[in-house]
Structures are given as C-alpha cells and as structure tokens.
Amino acid sequence: MRWTCAARRTDPVLKVENLSVSFVTRMGTNKAVDDISFTVETGRITAVIGESGSGKSVACYSLLGLIPQPPGRIDGGRALFHGQDLLQMTAAELRRIRGRDIAMVFQDPMTCLNPYMTIGQQLVEPLLYHKKVSRAQARDRALELLDEVGIRDPASTIDNYPHQFSGGMRQRVMIAMALINEPELLIADEPTTALDVTIQAQILKLLATLQAKRNIGILFISHDLAVVADIADQIVVMQQGRIVETGNRDAIFRHASHPYTQKLLQAIPRGGKPVALPTSLPLVTVRNLCTSFQSGNTVVKAVDDVSFEVLRGEVLGLVGESGSGKSTIGRSLLRLVHASSGQIDFDGIDVTALQRRELKNLRRRMQFIFQDPFASLNPRMTVYDTLAEPLLLHGIETRSTVGAHVLRLMDDVGLARTFVRKYPHEFSGGQRQRIAIGRALATRPDFVVADEPVSALDVTIQAQILELMRELGREYGLTMLFISHDLSVVRQLADRIVVLYKGKIVEQAATEDLFQRPQQAYTQQLLRSIPGSTLLAADPSGTDTTLS
C-alpha cells in the first residue's frame, strides 16, 4: 500500500539549511528550532516527526513567515525554494509565494475554514488574488477541484458554509483550496490528527494520489510515526528543537540509530496482551441498553440496544469512531448519564434502580478514568486534596491517617512524593493522568471504566501510561472497560473487544480473533485504516502481525 512513485528523478524543491528560530519573551529567550537542515524533493514526501514542543510546526511555519514576530525571531539559516532564500524575502514577496507556489493544509478542519464565508468564496480566493482569472473561471476551477478531492455534487454544495460539512469533507475542501493554484510544495501540518481513523486513511490516500499525479513535494508534519509510515519518502525526527535523525523511510523504520527514534518506534502500539485469562463469571452485564439525548427538537439515539458482559478480571475493549456511543455506554455504567432503557447489572446489583445512598456505595467499587487530564482534575485542588477526597469520603481513612495513604498512592502511580502540595497546572499531561488514575484507584474499586485515557497524550507518554495501567490492573486485580477509538491501543490491553458503529454493536470477539479473522466489513475497514499497518507488519522487530 505504498502510493508514491519512487522511480522519478529527484531534485530539491525546498532546501532548509541551519534554520534556527527562537521566541523572545519577558521570561527569556527560548530556542524553539535549533540549527536544523532538511530537504523536500519534487514528487516526494518529507515527513517531520516530533512530539509536542519539538519545534516541528514552528520550523515549517517560519519558512512562510507565518509565526508572529515578535515574539518569534529567526536567528539564522537559509530556506532555498528554487534557489531563492525564503527567509530573506520581504513580506510582500513571501505573500506572492504563499498560496501560489507553496500552499498549506492545517490540522483542524473544523477551525481552519472561515465560518462566515461559503466554501466557494474561500476556494476561489487564492486564484483570484494570485492569477488573472475571472470570477466565473475561478468558480469552474473550484468545482473541478472539489470533484477531484471527492466532494459529492460540488455544484450544489459549493455555496454551503463550512459547518454544513463533516470534518473529513472539510479537510478535503482545505486540500482543494491548497491545490487550486497548482503549487510546487505543499506543507501539511498534522492534516489527519483531528479525524477518525477510517477518515484518516482516506485523506492520507487522497493526499498521496494527488501528490503523485501533480508531482509536487510535500512537507508532512506529524506527531505520529505510524501515520507517515505509508506515505513518507524521507523522515526527519525532531526533539526539543533539534533534528536527532534523518533518513529514508526504510532506514528509519528498520535501522533507527538514535535512542529517541527507537523510543518513538517502540511507542507505536502493536502486538497484543501477552496472556489471556481463563474465562470466568461476568462482573458487569449490560442488557438492551438504550440511551438517547434531546438535541433541539430531535431525539438522538446515542446507544441503541446494546448488550455485552465484562468478565471478572478481564479488560474489555470498547472500540468505535466518534459518534459511535462508546463514551455514553461507559458513562451509563456509572450512572453519569441516565440510560433510557435496559438493564445494567453489577455483581448482582441493578445499577439503574439504585437510590442515592446505595449509589454512593456502588461508586466506591466502580470508578472512571477520563480522557483529558487537563479537564479531569479540579484546577484549584492540590494533588493531596484530590487524592484524599475519595479516601475521606468513603471513610477509608481519617484526616489524621490519610496522608500516608495519599503518599502510597503516589508511589503506586509513579509520582514523586515531593509533588504532593502541587496543583494540576504545574504538571505535564502524563503526570496529570497519573494523578487521575491514582484518584480512580484510591478506593480500590473492582471495576474501572477508562475512557480514551491516553488519546490526549504524546506517543511516548502514551506508552508509559498504558504500561502503568497494565501493571496496576494486575496489582489491584481490576476488571476494566477500556474505551478507545484506536484499535492498536486497545489491542495492547484488552482480552476481548467490542466494536461499535453508530450506537450499535457490530462485532465482539477475543482480541486476537478479531485481528486475525474480522467477520464484519466495518471491522475489516477499521483494521485496514490503522496507520502504518503494512510497513509495521513487515517489520521483523514487530510481533506476529499479519494483515491481509
């Protein structure tokens, strides 16, 4: 599944040499990009990989003068585009190149299109501004391109506003807009990160097709090595403003020499949970669960007649794309949302029928781990207060004894004891998620619902948190419902997997069975959409992954 053509003559469309960028603030100077060099060749894709704060976006934005100066400052280096140094150009010269010779596609298609203008108005803008064409000609060209990027019935949708399109469709519009002047270089900044996995696969394929057809160079920025595994020719790995390794795709994936690159590669979730538990009795039984929401005048069925069991001691993976109802199911189990109908049985207790006091006792035994560690901790409470709250509430400790217990919890989740008086905003995302896990495990629950617990984290941190959850799950003897949009993450933890689509269960099976022998078309499509699956399957260091 490699879409680029490797046999073309190559010459650099962009050559960056010794670029350095820093941000000057009152607090001091911060070197965001430190002496980096790379090239993008005609008809090839160069991927710049790095986690948040690695400087990858700053580097690419500074090429086109798109970082605000001040506080940004370009300290030195050259960026040769057809022999002309972009960094030496005046603002007006750069403007003539932007949108005409070099175009950009951004991360979040929801916010990158102007909500007050129709997509047609926005599409023709670069054409009208850079080329001498009439409005009618520009519109015709826009219609052609919309068709080419796969927008159905462009003639009737061109005058719609962005909010009338789905995320994937908006990203297609963004791509059409970038290509409308037939640029020679496309800078794509995480163009698929905000999208569902099946949509991501479609957009990646579209980009590769359009690129091959036009023979343009692409600079592809991503945090995820797996995403670029299928399409990149050249890979540049950045860490803390520096390039730690550059190489062609095969070299990076097979013989990565730098420890950071190796760490990134190891962080790509692959392989399954080592040992499967013997089957046992169900701890949680869900029967015919339905949950609907009132949205304006219409009733939306978020969960539609779902039945499944979570067996004692197992990790059940709940997989689905946005809108599949997976989070709603998780919240229904803890009565955070009210089920419209159906039964939820927890260890012989009917959860849907509980009164307040019984519910409190139940919640001691069932806990929730949330997706966003930035939102799931009260910003005005210290770690101590956050962890002590459940212990005191359920009478597990008294005020005089709770301190030692809090510190033990911090040890368990791998947080230094000296942080106990600190507030959430003083921690990184990974550390915050550790606090949240500590809070959930404080009452020693039997059952934990983890709702996308790692999807807001950088990939290397993701691997650490998954490892922590695996360990603690064993240590605490937990039963877990693990909710995620990402099959490869679920595979690492789950014993069995339930696949959801639009509120209904599509398929449920033991993890490896599901990966080896998916029965339903939707499951097969999901598996195909896992980024980098082809390359990683062939990777000798990988596990026994074989995908058709």
According to CB under 8 A, which residues from 477 to 536 bind other proteins? none
- CA nearest neighbour of 495 among 472, 507, 474, 512: 512
- Residue 540: Cβ-neighbour burial (10 angstroms; 0-12, 13-18, 19+): exposed
Count of CB atoms situated within 10 Å of the CB of 243: 23
| Residue with token string 């962890």 | 387
Cα–Cα distance measured from residue 187 to residue 189, given in angstroms and rounded to the nearest whole number: 6
CB 354 within 8 Å of CB 338: no
Q: Which residues contact 397 (CB under 8 A, 6 or more apart)?
A: 388, 391, 405
Q: Which residues ranging from 150 to 209 are in contact with other proteins (CB under 8 A)?
A: 161, 163-164, 174, 177
CB of residue 129 to other proteins, shortest distance in Å: 6
Residues 112-126: b if buried by 16+ CB within 10 A, e if exposed: bbeeeebbbbbbbbb
What's the token pair of residue 243? Answer: 């390039």
Virtual CA dihedral for 439, 444, 448, 451, nearest 10 degrees?
10
Q: If binding is defined by CB under 8 A, does position 104 make contact with other proteins?
A: yes
Q: If binding is defined by CB under 8 A, does position 347 make contact with other proteins?
A: no
Per DSSP bridges, beta strands 496-501 and 504-510 are antiparallel
For other proteins, the binding residue among 403, 517, 521, 538 (CB under 8 A) is 403
**Segment near other proteins (CB under 8 A); pick from 210-218, 316-324, 400-408, 517-525:** 400-408
Q: If binding is defined by CB under 8 A, does position 213 make contact with other proteins?
A: no
For other proteins, the binding residue among 212, 349, 354, 359 (CB under 8 A) is 359
For other proteins, the binding residue among 148, 347, 389, 539 (CB under 8 A) is 389
Q: If binding is defined by CB under 8 A, does position 425 make contact with other proteins?
A: yes
Q: Which residue's CB is nearer to other proteins, number 256 or number 339?
A: 339
- Coil/strand/helix, residue 224: coil
Angle at 228 between CA 51 and CA 272, to 5 degrees: 80
- CA nearest neighbour of 193 among 433, 458, 494, 526: 458
Cα–Cα distance measured from residue 111 to residue 124, given in angstroms and rounded to the nearest whole number: 19
Q: Which residue's CB is nearer to other proteins, number 152 or number 163?
A: 163
For other proteins, the binding residue among 97, 201, 228, 238 (CB under 8 A) is 97
- Residue 176: Cβ-neighbour burial (10 angstroms; 0-12, 13-18, 19+): buried
For other proteins, the binding residue among 31, 78, 130, 131 (CB under 8 A) is 130
Q: Which residue's CB is nearer to other proteins, number 94 or number 212?
A: 94
Q: If binding is defined by CB under 8 A, does position 265 make contact with other proteins?
A: no
**Segment near other proteins (CB under 8 A); pick from 148-156, 237-245, 414-422, 486-494:** 414-422
For other proteins, the binding residue among 388, 457, 465, 487 (CB under 8 A) is 388
CB of residue 163 to other proteins, shortest distance in Å: 5
Q: Which residue's CB is nearer to other proteins, number 3 or number 161?
A: 161
Angle at 337 between CA 336 and CA 341, to 5 degrees: 130
Q: If binding is defined by CB under 8 A, does position 82 make contact with other proteins?
A: no
If binding means CB under 8 A, how many residues of this protein chain bind other proteins?
Answer: 80
Q: If binding is defined by CB under 8 A, does position 346 make contact with other proteins?
A: no
Q: If binding is defined by CB under 8 A, does position 131 make contact with other proteins?
A: no
- CA nearest neighbour of 199 among 102, 62, 322: 322
Q: Which residue's CB is nearer to other proteins, number 38 or number 447?
A: 447
**Segment near other proteins (CB under 8 A); pick from 146-154, 236-244, 361-369, 508-516:** 361-369
CB of residue 359 to other proteins, shortest distance in Å: 7
CB of residue 421 to other proteins, shortest distance in Å: 5
- CA 224 remoteness from chain centre: 8
Cα–Cα distance measured from residue 188 to residue 52, given in angstroms and rounded to the nearest whole number: 16
- Coil/strand/helix, residue 381: coil
CB of residue 22 to other proteins, shortest distance in Å: 20
**Segment near other proteins (CB under 8 A); pick from 43-51, 248-256, 305-313, 385-393:** 385-393
Q: If binding is defined by CB under 8 A, does position 382 make contact with other proteins?
A: yes
- CA nearest neighbour of 233 among 251, 248, 255: 248
CB of residue 211 to other proteins, shortest distance in Å: 18
Q: If binding is defined by CB under 8 A, does position 112 make contact with other proteins?
A: yes
For other proteins, the binding residue among 52, 129, 279, 280 (CB under 8 A) is 129
For other proteins, the binding residue among 303, 329, 366, 457 (CB under 8 A) is 366
| Residue with token string 């990777």 | 539
Sheet holding 242-248, edge to edge: 102-105, 185-189, 217-222, 45-49, 234-239, 242-248
Q: Which residue's CB is nearer to other proteins, number 100 or number 249?
A: 100
Q: Which residues ranging from 52 to 81 are in contact with other proteins (CB under 8 A)?
A: 64, 66
For other proteins, the binding residue among 377, 459, 463, 514 (CB under 8 A) is 377
**Segment near other proteins (CB under 8 A); pick from 79-87, 329-337, 470-478, 514-522:** 329-337
Count of CB atoms situated within 10 Å of the CB of 425: 10
- Residue 400 half-sphere exposure toward CB, CA atoms < 13 A: 0
Q: Which residue's CB is nearer to other proteins, number 96 or number 517?
A: 96
Q: If binding is defined by CB under 8 A, does position 90 make contact with other proteins?
A: no
